[in-house]
Structure 1
């Protein structure tokens, strides 16, 4: 055997004994630490990370739904403008045709055409206004529901009716033109 190695090993053993170091206790603590770390990783950290990932996904889905609703609102607004433009065009066409007519009969027909055009225009405006209001109402309800649902999921608590009402009103105000 090599004598300097023996003395160095003996010196290490004596130093460990003087500080109360026991290899068996140290190894048992290392094994316990590894077991606890593995158990925490499997049963604590993974479920928490999974819940956080799920919440992130729900929030992303909620934002995507909000974008879809905004797109639907823009499409409804475009349809509203198209209906209004078509109604205005038809009304103007009827008015111009009525003015082109001559004589007393033409004057009477002109008045009938103007009245009809105004009725069509009023109906078109009313229909487009009703469609716009209905779409806005649906949008506000859906956006309010999404805001309430997302807020409840993110905060992890059950919202009171006052909280739900307040969130819906806030969302409706932000969407209102």
Structure 2
């Protein structure tokens, strides 16, 4: 039973050792321990604040990135629309220019055909005229070789003139 109930002297010495140890720890150990705990608490609070700040910045950057992406999409769509309009305009201009040039070529060809046709007709008329003159000359030489034939021919011409 001695082990369960200590002596008063042992208790007093143990209490005195504990109080001295407590005072020594309070003076030398608790201040640095408390100081390091406070520093660690401040570091943790600072890290949490920094994390919150970084989180807020990341959210702002993310929304800014989304806005930039939306703007880039809009610009891309506008550029594609402009490119399509430019392509369509260029195609239409090329078609119109081709139509104009085709019309000009056709008109020039028709003028050339008409000019060649007129030249051919003129040449044919000239040839026909020459042939008519030659034939008439030959016929008249034969018919007008005698005075009786000349007189009959002149009378025929006079009669035909009167009829017209």
TM-score, with length taken from structure 1 = 0.43
TM-score, with length taken from structure 2 = 0.46
Which structure would you say has the larger RCO, counting Cα contacts within 8 Å and 6 or more residues apart?
1
Rg larger for: 2
